[in-house]
Amino acid sequence: MSLHRATTAALRAVGRRPTESHPRGQASNKDKNEPAHAGSFARTDDSITVEYPPDHELPSSEPVTGAGRAGMHVYPTLATFSLEGKVGVVTGGARGLGLVMGQGMVVSGADLAIVDMNKEEAEIQAKAIMDQFKKDNPNAKKFPRVTAHYADVSDPESVQACVDEILAQHGRIDSLVTSAGFTENFQATDYPIDRFRKLFAVNVDGTYLFATAVARHLMARNARGSMVFIGSMSGAIVNVPQPQAPYNSAKAAVRHMAASLAVEWAHLGIRVNCISPGYMLTALTKKILDDNPDLKQKWTSLIPQGKMGSPEDLMGPVAFLLSDAANYVTGADLRVDGGYTVT
């Protein structure tokens, strides 16, 4: 879900361009004389096959420690950046990026509904977020409310039942972050059609179903609102060497869906934006690095900032786009990738 797009992050950088030991413009004479090598750094490798792991094999995530004092404006900043008095929803919020982005909403003052297929894990993380908030803000006059909810984001009835449950517990919804999704690596001619349909059902259908369900609620209230779809830099580039045409296509759909709905709902005061993360060091990515310790250098050599992102690097961008500070921002795609996609 929130960490699904990181499943094969460890493979994305390999082969995109020459490494430092064989830099662009300094190829050996052997390479110059062998046309078979032409374009080899801009091709996918059909031998790479990665299937998303089952839920019980996914590593648990933890809330960020020392994330700041929520909504208290201890440090000078614009009040419009606060989410105080808002109710937010994050799908795929029990692990990885979704968990940390949800925590960022709470730190910014919002009440939060965590939605995940693993409700037990969502309940554990809801308590962990609250415990961390109380630890960071022992003298707070008001503590935000964090609840856990089940939903299969690809099922319209499950989505509506979840939204109804959130409304029953929180009274309203003001903002939405759609972080549920996953990725797999197969060459297109070998990818099972049932897996293709599931990938699109979770990444694309799930985003659409939650967005429209929340939009209907906002329209019924005649209320303004803000949504952030979590895409991926893969929606704007073709990653190599791993073949992942279905995932790239799904994330491109999410990105353009955000732009399309932003235009459709702009006159109603409902803003829709997209955040496209690059390589993020989630718990799952760390596990991949432990198994492949040489990969981190290969990744970071392709990132202008020279390092992978941390999940908490998304807390600020999400809070900004959901807040009133971004009132004139809609239909945007904010890439949080350390500059990867501009090189």
Residue-wise pLDDT tens digits, 291-319? 767 667 777 888 999 999 999 999 999 99
Annotation marks residue 232 as catalytic: yes
CA gap 91, 83 in Å, rounded: 18
User: Of 86, 154, 251, 296, which residue is the catalytic one?
Assistant: 251
Q: What is the mean pLDDT of the chain?
A: 85
Q: Percent of the chain having pLDDT more than 90?
A: 65
- Residue 51: partners with Cβ closer than 8 Å, 6 or more residues away: 184, 186, 195
CA gap 307, 285 in Å, rounded: 14
User: Of 82, 226, 232, 234, which residue is the catalytic one?
Assistant: 232
**pLDDT (mean) for 91-99:** 96
CB 270 within 8 A of CB 251: no
In this prediction the pTM is 0.82
CA gap 280, 285 in Å, rounded: 7
Look at residue 62 and give its three-state secondary structure: coil
User: Of 52, 247, 279, 340, which residue is the catalytic one?
Assistant: 247
In a domain, 28, yes or no: no
In a domain, 26, yes or no: no
**pLDDT (mean) for 242-261:** 96
In a domain, 56, yes or no: yes
Annotation marks residue 30 as catalytic: no
> DSSP letter string over 20-80?
TTS-TT---HHHHT-GGGTTGGGS--TT--BPPPPGGGSPP--PPTT---TTS--S---GG
In a domain, 69, yes or no: no
User: In which order are the strands placed within the sheet that holds 111-116?
Assistant: 146-150, 111-116, 87-91, 175-178, 225-230, 270-277, 333-336
Whether the predicted pLDDT of 240 surpasses 80: no
In a domain, 161, yes or no: yes
Alpha-carbon radius of gyration of the chain: 20
Q: Percent of the chain having pLDDT more than 70?
A: 77
> What phi and psi values does residue 279 have, to the nearest 5 degrees?
-75, 115
Q: Domain residues for 187?
A: 4-20+39-62+81-342
In a domain, 141, yes or no: yes
Q: How confident is the model at residue 269 (pLDDT cuts 50, 70, 90)?
A: very high
Q: Report CA-CA distances (Å) from 109 to 74, 82, 209, 244.
A: 13, 6, 26, 38
41-62 pLDDT, tens digit per residue, is 566 667 656 566 666 666 566 6
In a domain, 47, yes or no: yes
21-39 pLDDT, tens digit per residue, is 333 334 444 444 445 566 5
| 233: CATH | 3.40.50.720
CA gap 265, 28 in Å, rounded: 56
Q: Report which of residues 59 and 287 the model is more confident about.
A: 287
Rounded to 10°, the helix 119-136/96-107 angle is 40
Domains in the chain, number? 1
In a domain, 75, yes or no: no
H helix intervals, the chain: 9-12, 29-32, 96-107, 119-136, 156-170, 193-200, 206-221, 245-265, 283-291, 295-300, 315-322
* End-to-end Cα distance, the chain: 28
> Strand 225-230 vs strand 175-178: parallel, antiparallel, or unpaired?
parallel
User: Residue 241, preceding bond cis, omega within 30 degrees?
Assistant: yes
